[in-house]
């Protein structure tokens, strides 16, 4: 890389891909920072990305109070995004969140690690659906 | 510290186009020499332009050559087999290129360097050839630095930035940044944004007219309008239109240049067409 601020090409391509999807999708970089979510995701989380900006993904997820269907707080170790970031493997889970607009929603979340090369982890892509 | 000086030996895209209709700007495919004051050579890409360069390097007695490949599409590689220094036992040639998740740089290049695509095998080459994946950190030599980054084009493809003595050049011959967006993108989200940011000169893909691009989206190349938009977005000094469409005659290229100048009317420096033999001196 020529500049630590330059996004890796895989993330640039993933953003272009996500921008054209009607499936809610977000991207986080290898540091675990939320770097983008698409318009479809804005509809689920209740806030535009331009209002959010880049921030630690854990902080962003935490704001939605993720919890199990029975109301138990969801530990970070069980969150698909955290698993994809820490263990660099895909993960999937259903859980409940409260959107920024105060609406409680049950969501299905799938997270995948992104590798530019076999050993070059550049971030994750997370897709989610309202149940 | 050395300034950056370049000589263009080939600027045609896709396939060589010899003939009277293309004699003005040249029909050889991509090859650019970074001019040096010592007995080494630094070359960007090995399109057919490298054939004439090779003869020149032999005549100049150059024995050590660093060749940097943006990618391995044939129009950036097809001249290598006819690069005269390769057939000289006293020459050492270091070839640098993009990493691939699948095959080594050597194995990928050797595909085109063996029967049935070529009568000789690579082991017949007398020069001492070494293959390197381009490192992430800057590559430096005699006051010049070269940095690379992956850019938006099918397959692993690099753009280069050369800096020396306060001057800088970006070389992004095959690039379709519009696929991921140009206008409205911050530089960190712009493909090749860091490579080209504030460069004095940007040699950039401008293969198509705006009308032609509509039928070629996703092929990895830019319209003249996107080349101008990219140059503006990175704050480049001068845009040099590169990777000319094979179907474009000299006249068609000049119409393209005129269009680029209309689009860049507010810029300090007018875009120019790359041309074989052109020397860019950033002293």
Q: Would residue A72 be called left, alpha or beta, if left means φ above 0 and alpha means ψ between -120 and 50 degrees?
A: beta
Extract the tokens encoding B281: 């001196």
How many angstroms separate the CA atoms of A121 and A131, rounded? 30
Q: Which residue numbers in chain B have pLDDT < 70?
A: 1-2
Find, in chain B, the residue whose alpha carbon is nearest to that of A8. Answer: B150
Q: Which pLDDT value is given to residue A1? A: 42
Nearest beta carbon to residue A2 from set B161, B179, B191: B161
Give the global pTM.
0.91
Nearest of B240, B151, B155, B238 to residue B193 by alpha carbon:
B151
Eight-state DSSP code of residue A77: G
Residue A1, chain B, CB below 8 Å: the answer is yes
User: Given this model, what pLDDT does residue A101 score?
Assistant: 81
Most A CBs within 10 Å, among B191, B199, B230, to test the A interface: B191
- What is the distance in angstroms between the Cα of B194 and the nearest Cα belonging to chain A? 6
In chain A, the percentage of residues whose pLDDT exceeds 90 is 72
CB contact under 8 A, A12 and B189: yes
- Whether chain A has a CB inside 8 Å of the CB on B188: the answer is yes
- Nearest residue to B93 (alpha-carbon basis) of B161, B46, B144, B140: B46
**Residue A38 in 3-state DSSP?**
coil
Q: Are B76 and B160 in contact (CB under 8 A)?
A: no
Per-residue model confidence (pLDDT) at position B70: 98
Query: CB burial class (10 A; 0-12, 13-18, 19+) of residue A89?
Result: exposed
Are A7 and B179 inside 8 Å of each other by CB? no
* pLDDT tier, A115 (very low <50, low <70, confident <90, very high otherwise): very high
From A54, A128, A52, A48, select the one nearest A96 (Cα to Cα): A128
Is the CB of A118 inside 8 Å of chain B's CB atoms?
yes
From residue B122, give the alpha-carbon distance in Å to each of A104, B68, B87, B91, B95: 65, 19, 11, 15, 14
Q: Which residues of A touch B149 (CB under 8 A)?
A: 1-2, 6, 9
pLDDT tens digits, one per residue of A2-22: 555 799 999 999 999 999 999
Q: What is the pLDDT of residue B102?
A: 78
Residue B1 is predicted with a pLDDT of 54
Q: In what order do the strands lie in the sheet with B64-68?
A: B128-133, B92-97, B64-68, B40-44, B31-34, B5-10, B279-281
Residue A5, C-beta contacts closer than 8 angstroms, at least 6 positions apart = B187, B188, B194
Contact B253, B138 (CB under 8 A): no
Rounded to two decimals, the ipTM of the complex is 0.80
What is the DSSP code string of chain B?
A: -PPPEEEEEE-B-SS---SGGGTTT--PBSEEEE--SSSEEEEE--STHHHHHHHHHHHTT--EEEEE-S--SGGGTTTGGG-GGGG-TT-EEEEEE---SSS-HHHHHHTTSSTTTSSS-GGG--SEEEEEEPPSSPEEETTEEEEEEE-SSSSS-EEEEEEETTEEEEEE-S--GGGT--TT--GGGSTTHHHHTT-SEEEEE--B-HHHHTT-TTSS--BHHHHHHHHHHHT-SEEEEESB-TT--HHHHHHHHHHHHHHTTTSSS--EE--TT-EEE--
What letter would DSSP give residue A74? P
From the number of C-beta atoms within 10 Å of its C-beta (0-12, 13-18, 19+), residue B110 rates as middle
pLDDT at A130: 84
Rounded average pLDDT over A83-110: 94
Q: What is the residue-wise DSSP string for B240-283?
A: EEESB-TT--HHHHHHHHHHHHHHTTTSSS--EE--TT-EEE--
Q: Return all residues near B80 (Cβ < 8 A) that are at least 6 apart.
A: B46, B50, B67, B86, B109, B113
Please check whether residue A128 is in contact with residue A107, taking contact to mean a CB–CB distance below 8 angstroms.
yes
Contact list in B for residue A122 (CB cut-off 8 A) is none
DSSP A86: H
Q: Is B265 on the interface with A (CB under 8 A)?
A: no
Which of A44-48, A55-59, B53-57, B251-255 shows the lowest per-residue confidence on average (mean pLDDT)?
Answer: A44-48
Query: Tens digits of per-residue pLDDT, A120-131?
Result: 899 999 999 987
């Amino acid at each position: 890389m020529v500049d630590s601020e330059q996004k890796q090409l895989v993330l640039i391509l993933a953003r272009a891909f996500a921008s054209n999807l009607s499936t809610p999708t977000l991207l986080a970089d290898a540091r675990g920072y939320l770097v983008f979510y698409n318009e479809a995701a804005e509809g689920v989380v209740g806030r535009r990305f331009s209002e959010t900006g880049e921030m630690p993904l854990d902080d962003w997820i935490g704001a939605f109070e993720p919890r199990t269907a029975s109301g138990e707080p969801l530990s970070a170790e069980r969150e698909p995004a955290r698993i994809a970031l820490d263990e660099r493997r895909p993960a999937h889970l259903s859980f409940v969140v409260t959107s920024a607009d105060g609406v409680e929603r049950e969501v299905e979340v799938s997270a995948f690690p992104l590798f530019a090369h076999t050993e070059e982890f550049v971030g994750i892509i997370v897709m989610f659906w309202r149940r | 510290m050395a300034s950056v000086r370049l000589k263009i030996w080939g600027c045609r895209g896709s396939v060589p186009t010899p003939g009277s209709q293309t004699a003005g700007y040249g029909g050889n495919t991509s090859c650019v020499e970074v001019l040096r004051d010592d007995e080494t050579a630094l070359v960007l890409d090995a399109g057919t332009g490298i054939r004439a360069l090779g003869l020149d390097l032999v005549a100049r007695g150059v024995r050590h050559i660093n060749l940097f490949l943006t990618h391995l599409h044939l129009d950036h590689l097809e001249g290598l087999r006819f690069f005269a220094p390769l057939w000289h036992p006293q020459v050492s040639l270091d070839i640098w290129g993009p990493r691939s998740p699948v095959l080594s740089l050597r194995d990928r290049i050797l595909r085109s360097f063996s029967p049935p695509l070529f009568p000789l095998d690579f082991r017949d080459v007398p020069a001492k050839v070494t293959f390197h994946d381009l490192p992430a950190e800057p590559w430096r030599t005699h006051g010049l630095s070269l940095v690379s980054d992956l850019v938006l084009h099918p397959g692993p493809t690099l753009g280069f930035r050369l800096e020396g003595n306060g001057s800088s050049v970006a070389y992004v011959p095959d690039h379709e940044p519009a696929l991921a967006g140009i206008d409205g993108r911050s530089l960190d989200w712009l493909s090749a944004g860091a490579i080209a940011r504030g460069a004095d000169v940007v040699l950039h893909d401008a293969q198509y007219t705006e009308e032609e691009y509509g039928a070629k989206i996703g092929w990895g190349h830019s319209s003249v309008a996107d080349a101008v938009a990219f140059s503006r977005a990175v704050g480049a000094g001068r845009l040099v239109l590169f990777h000319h469409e094979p179907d474009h005659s000299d006249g068609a290229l000049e119409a393209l240049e005129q269009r680029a100048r209309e689009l860049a009317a507010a810029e300090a420096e007018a875009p120019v067409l790359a041309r074989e033999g052109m020397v860019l001196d950033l002293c």
